């Protein structure tokens, strides 16, 4: 798409973004429906299905970039995009009603474990950036393999935590809403309650194909737009592309907030952060090179920023701060300030 008129590039990018939004919503709803119909629950297969469906936009963009050899887009979208996706929680905090911040209403220490899980995988990804390409194993960065193993282990640990009543207990005035298991006890997602299983599967497949096609267009038009305006493709992927690929999470997260499932709104963001890093092994295989080994200082900095933002929320899951200011908890206010300072330093330095 290089050389195409910028107006057409922007139209293509906007159209692909819209497809990502609507297809992502359909993916989330059909995945929930299939999850309950086939009783996958918290089994490994169910968690993998949920992880893939939730991160399909990132998977599509990364696959397209890997085949084209555009490594900065891969690293920017996966490692650099974690900071932006974590910032999405601020939106949920702002729209929630009442006098208490979202992190207090979610109530349980379980989210602390989920935050630590995502932080650990992010640290592994950053560590992988310091492994020379010559130290790869079959063109795969060792930490890409470690991340996959740690992710599988982490899923089992999180499920054990969810089974511990003391770790999922909340304050008396908290309002976490349904847990993951309680949501999956619902016979079907209300939108598809009267639809056949075949109908739901076909919608799931159609939404998946639409997301994959939109991801390719987003990657190719996004790179062309970034080059037109003289923006680094890695930075573009970590900000603009990260925003677009977060649209489904924003939509479903807001839906969770509006129906009172406050815990799930944050949990799904943290779970998405963790799974995004698993995609590095797919990128290594498709690009035929250890992608993380080519991370630049800017992307490593953004990865560290993501760790800081998740750590802020992790801290408040323990302290349970009660006050809100400007409709936000202190943690969300801190998120905005830290992210803004991080972006300022990134461009300043």
Predicted confidence band at 172 (pLDDT cuts at 50, 70, 90)? low
- Concatenating the DSSP letter of every residue in 298-321 gives HHHHHHHHHHHHHHHHHHHHHH--
The owner of tokens 């939004």 is 21
Residue 180 has pLDDT above 70, yes or no: no
pLDDT single digits (tens) 128-155: 999 999 998 889 999 999 999 999 999 8
Please give the pLDDT value at position 45: 54
Percent of the chain with pLDDT over 90: 42
Please give the pLDDT value at position 97: 84
Residue 345 has pLDDT above 80, yes or no: yes
Residue 270 has pLDDT above 60, yes or no: yes
Please give the pLDDT value at position 303: 94
CA atoms within 13 A on the CB side of 276: 34
Please give the pLDDT value at position 323: 84
Predicted confidence band at 279 (pLDDT cuts at 50, 70, 90)? very high
- 3-state SS class at 252: helix
Beta bridge partner(s), residue 324:
329
Residue that wins the pLDDT comparison between 203 and 55: 203
- 3-state SS class at 129: coil
Please give the pLDDT value at position 262: 85
| Residue range 47-73: mean pLDDT, rounded | 83
Averaged pLDDT of the chain: 86
pLDDT single digits (tens) 290-314: 999 999 999 999 999 999 999 999 9
| Residue range 59-80: mean pLDDT, rounded | 91
Domain boundaries along the sequence of the chain: 6-348
Tokens of 326: 């400007």
Domain 6-348 sits in CATH at 1.20.1420.30
Instruction: Compute the distance between CA of residue 27 and CA of residue 21 in angstroms, rounded to an integer.
Output: 10
| Residue range 200-226: mean pLDDT, rounded | 90
3-state percent breakdown (helix, strand, coil) of the chain, nearest 5 = 75, 0, 20
Instruction: Compute the distance between CA of residue 160 and CA of residue 56 in angstroms, rounded to an integer.
Output: 27
pLDDT single digits (tens) 18-54: 998 888 888 877 877 777 777 665 555 556 666 777 7
What is the dihedral angle through the alpha carbons of 295, 52, 87, 259, rounded to the nearest 10 degrees? Answer: 180
Dihedral (CA of 270, 274, 275, 279) sign: positive
pTM over 0.85: yes
Residue that wins the pLDDT comparison between 54 and 288: 288
């Amino acid at each position: 798409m290089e050389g195409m008129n910028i107006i057409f590039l922007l139209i293509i990018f906007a159209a692909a973004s819209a497809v990502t939004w609507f297809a992502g919503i359909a993916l989330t709803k059909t995945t929930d429906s299939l999850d309950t119909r086939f009783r996958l629950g918290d089994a490994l297969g169910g968690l993998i299905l949920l992880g893939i469906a939730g991160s399909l936009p990132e998977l599509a963009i990364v696959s397209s970039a890997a085949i084209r050899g555009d490594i900065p887009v891969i690293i920017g979208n996966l490692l650099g995009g974690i900071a932006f996706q974590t910032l999405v929680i601020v939106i949920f905090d702002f729209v929630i009603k009442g006098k208490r911040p979202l992190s207090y209403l979610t109530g349980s220490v379980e989210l602390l474990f989920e935050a630590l899980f995502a932080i650990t995988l992010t640290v592994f990804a950053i560590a992988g950036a310091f492994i020379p390409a010559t130290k790869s194993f079959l063109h795969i960065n060792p930490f890409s393999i470690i991340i996959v193993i740690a992710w599988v282990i982490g899923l089992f640990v999180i499920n054990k935590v969810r089974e511990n009543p003391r770790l999922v207990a909340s304050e008396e005035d908290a309002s976490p809403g349904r847990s993951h298991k309680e949501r999956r006890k619902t016979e079907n997602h209300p939108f598809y309650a009267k639809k056949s299983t075949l109908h739901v599967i076909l919608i799931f497949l159609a939404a998946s194909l639409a997301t994959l096609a939109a991801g390719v267009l987003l990657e190719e038009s996004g790179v062309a737009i970034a080059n037109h305006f003289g923006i680094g493709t890695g930075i573009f992927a970590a900000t603009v592309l990260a925003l677009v690929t977060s649209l489904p999470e924003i939509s479903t997260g807001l839906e969770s907030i509006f129906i009172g499932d406050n815990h799930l709104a944050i949990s799904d963001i943290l779970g998405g952060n963790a799974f995004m890093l698993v995609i590095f092994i797919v990128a290594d295989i498709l690009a035929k090179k250890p992608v993380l080994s080519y991370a630049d200082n800017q992307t490593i900095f953004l990865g560290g920023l993501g760790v800081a933002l998740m750590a802020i929320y992790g801290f408040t899951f323990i302290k349970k701060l009660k006050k809100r200011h400007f409709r936000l908890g202190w943690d969300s206010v801190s998120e905005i300030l830290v992210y803004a300072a991080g972006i300022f330093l990134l461009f300043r330095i």
